[in-house]
Amino acid sequence: MRSALLILGDAPNRRMVLASLAILLTGCATADRYVKTAPEGVINQTDFRYRETIDTGHRIPAIDAYEIDPRLLRVTVTYKTQYRPGTVVVDIAARRLYLVQAGGQALRYAVGVGREDALNFHGKAAIGRKEVWPSWTPTARMIERIPRYAAYSSGMSGGVDNPLGARALYLYRDGRDTEFRIHGTNEPASIGTAVSSGCIRLFNHDIIDLYARIPIGAPVVVM
């Protein structure tokens, strides 16, 4: 730097060199300042659990781990309960679903629940049916509450635009369909909130995971 200033000679030229160096250094600092970092608890943006997936011909977009609350991601937790392994326990108030595991643990999933507590299913049931990319037909009660659903009174085929998402688990009680489901969603921003018509919704990635882990007949408890 000293030799460069000597070559330039006079003070005005020295000031120009210093100003130019300052601009260059400021540019580097600015670039570093805008490097995006993941929230605490998230490994990276392409968390393998939530990467883009092609499932039976349907594209499920990746969930950007930079943009989501890490507390909503699927995780194994310590979970003390009276229910045996294989039981699905839905905690409406906490907006979490637990698949009970051996050894005092559970797989915890975030869920979306009914916008009003009266819309939520409560009590014990069993998985009576399982469907991949299920069709959806709104119930008469749903149409009464949300009249625009009348357009689908004859049913809507399964697919990425279907509100049941990639999988559905149908809750039965005493051998009869309760009309409540545990299912995926095409609205991932709704997970962790109370916005549904009463059914329990999960990220599509999570319902695929849960679907693969539990058989027909698995017990369900909704608290």
Dig out the tokens for 136 from the structure.
Answer: 């959806």
Burial class for 179, CB neighbours closer than 10 Å (0-12, 13-18, 19+): middle
d(CA 200, CA 96): 10
Report which of 31, 30, 47 is spatially closest to residue 39, judged by C-alpha positions: 47
Report which of 106, 50, 89, 103 is spatially closest to residue 219, judged by C-alpha positions: 89
Q: Which are the contacts of 211, defined by CB distance < 8 A and separation ≥ 6?
A: 130, 132, 167, 169
Contact 178, 121 (CB under 8 A): yes
Annotated catalytic residue within 58, 122, 183, 205: 183
User: Does residue 183 have an active-site annotation?
Assistant: yes
Dig out the tokens for 167 from the structure.
Answer: 């999988």
Report which of 148, 213, 223, 137 is spatially closest to residue 177, judged by C-alpha positions: 137
The bridge status of strand 58-60 relative to strand 96-101 is: unpaired
Residue 132, H or E segment? strand 123-132
Annotated catalytic residue within 28, 122, 199, 205: 199
| Active site residues per annotation | 183, 199
